[in-house]
Structure 1
Amino acid sequence: MNLNHLYAPWIKIGLICILLFTLPCTTVQGFSDASDRLGQESSDRLTLSQLLKKYPDTFRAKGPANRQIALTFDDVPDPRFTPQVLDILKKENVKATFFVVGSRAKKHPSLVKRMKFEGHTIGNHSYNHAQFGLLSLPEFQSQIKKTNMIIQKITGETPTLIRPPYGDITEEQLLWARKHQYKVVNWNVDSLDWKGLNKEQIKENILSAAGPGAIVLQHAGGGKGSDLSGTLQALPEVIHDLRSKGYSFVTLPELLQLR
């Protein structure tokens, strides 16, 4: 009797089992080696906290300890949200700082003009919201220069403030920014409004952390499907609450005494 047809399926199963037990070992080892290399590369790069300490004249995340606060808005212009934020600021007589994405400014120049006309400060937030820490120096330079050219064409002024998307920037990029007399400005109070939080959550995030010299991060623009209704609802109440505590609102150049 030929038993090959009986044993053949079991032989195949045995081979599959051998492969299943050997492949994970190779995969884990390869992943471990890659992680080790990534760890070595990352260890050579200064953290954002270290960069803030090393370059205090170029890289800031907070102002002097006085009773002034700077409200900042990223990812503008966006016709869904930016006009409403501008309306609130105008009604409350507050000047803020807007960090503009170049590709959006190109599509909605009238909103950038309105920001300038109403006395707000305009900063550079890259051309297409690229994460600077992942870019080469020439790519980073292109993001800044391209956006500045667009803003200059719209407003007649060239921004001197840069806010890196995600707050991420390298030492090499900071050195270039310093050489060209830019100030790179992050934040020390994060509203986390990009998560689509409601009014009360956003108020809590801001009011629980805001203090003398605070730089508050909010958004007046977002991606497809973004919900910034919480920001729009919270903003007037945040302004009223902080004013009642003796704070005044200023632009970043005023807060950081750049003028």
Structure 2
Amino acid sequence: MKNDEPTVGRRVLLRTAVFLGVAAASGLLSGGEGGTPGTGGGSSGPAPAAGPGANPAAGAPGALPGALPERSYRLQPMTAEAPARQAAAKPAVRTRPILELPSDRSAAPSMVLTFDDGPDPRYTPGILDTLARYGVSAMFFVCGEMAAENRDLLRRMAAEGHVIGNHTWTHPHLTRLSRPALASEIARTSDVVEETLGEAPVWFRAPYGEWNRAAFEVGAELGMEPLAWTVDSLDWTEPGTATIVSRILGGAAPGVIVLSHDAGGNRTQSVQALSSYLPQLLSRGYRMTLPTLPPR
């Protein structure tokens, strides 16, 4: 039996070496949970999945009885640290349109000139020429069907510092439309403006001044504020150039919004009237300005 002792000793040493090798491969000697998962080079990939029928509690196939199961490491998304994406703020749904500008008594009295229904190549260029002559900016509430056919004028308006507003596609009576039809009239016009200028309009005006809850809601959903007017030139009735001039000069006051037209009929009188009343308003100390969006 003495001759067998060295052999038994060698077997014990071999078994011990094998156990230590398996333990090291299983991560038991890697320093615990703080160690690097995997082997050689610090790979961060997950360990290979066990084969079908394997018992996860028993560890990897071929593990020695009593050995701890191999831990599984998985990358966790760092969602808690990523900045939250904020949606663009939309205007509140109003129950009435904006009718005038806030008045600032410390500054020169200001007014806003607005023109509806265009752009029309017969009349809009004359209005733009007069505004440019006096260095004045205005607002143009365009109809989509007109804008789609006259994109160059739309670009000129924007390039010369004017604000483009939405005046629906075909200038219908909104209160007579279903909500889907109303939404289409407004959205299509915003799409044309955005396609042409790269930015959608942020102001909306209902044709004929006919507002309803659906118009306010759809406009707000599209990121627009509703703007009406306080001085109506009634130039669409073609009352004569002198009458148009008289109405606008007579209604001039700090904060007023003037309504005129550059399309929708013969607007020769409107073009001529602008070249008369604009220099008179400026000589009275009025400043032609643009509205600012209310806080959102």
Q: Please say whether Structure 1 and Structure 2 have the same fold, judged by a TM-score greater than 0.5.
A: yes
| 1:183 aligned onto 2:225 | yes
Question: 1:130 maps to which residue?
Answer: 172
More helix by share: 1
Question: 2:289 maps to which residue?
Answer: 250
1:240 to 240, 260, 279: 279
Q: Contact (CA 8 Å) 1:121, 1:252: kept in 2 or not?
A: no
1:152 to 176, 188, 194: 194
Q: Contact (CA 8 Å) 1:97, 1:252: kept in 2 or not?
A: no
SS in 2 for 1:252: coil
Q: 2: distance between equivalents of 1:236 and 1:257?
A: 31
Q: Are the structure 2 counterparts of residues 115 and 151 from structure 1 closer, same or farther at C-alpha, using a change threshold of 3 Å? A: same
Q: Which has the higher contact order (CA 8 A, sep 6+)?
A: 1
Question: 2:103 maps to which residue?
Answer: 65
Structure whose CA Rg is larger: 2
Give the drift of 1:61.
Answer: 1.3
Q: 1: distance between equivalents of 2:242 and 2:236?
A: 14
Q: Contact (CA 8 Å) 1:75, 1:221: kept in 2 or not?
A: yes
Give the drift of 1:237.
Answer: 2.0
Q: 2: distance between equivalents of 1:203 and 1:119?
A: 24
Q: 1: distance between equivalents of 2:295 and 2:164?
A: 14
Q: Contact (CA 8 Å) 1:198, 1:229: kept in 2 or not?
A: no
Give the drift of 1:252.
Answer: 2.9
Q: Contact (CA 8 Å) 2:240, 2:269: kept in 1 or not?
A: yes
Question: 1:108 maps to which residue?
Answer: 150
The alignment's TM-score, normalised by the length of structure 1, stands at 0.73
Q: 1: distance between equivalents of 2:255 and 2:137?
A: 15
| 1:208 aligned onto 2:250 | yes
1:99 to 137, 141, 159: 141
| 1:76 aligned onto 2:114 | no
Q: CA RMSD in A?
A: 2.1
Runs of 4+ in 1 over 6 A off after TM superposition: 55-58
| 1:192 aligned onto 2:234 | yes
SS in 2 for 1:60: coil
Question: 1:229 maps to which residue?
Answer: 268
Q: 2: distance between equivalents of 1:57 and 1:247?
A: 30
Moved more, 176-185 or 105-114: 176-185
SS in 2 for 1:159: coil
Give the drift of 1:116.
Answer: 0.6
Q: 1: distance between equivalents of 2:263 and 2:218?
A: 28
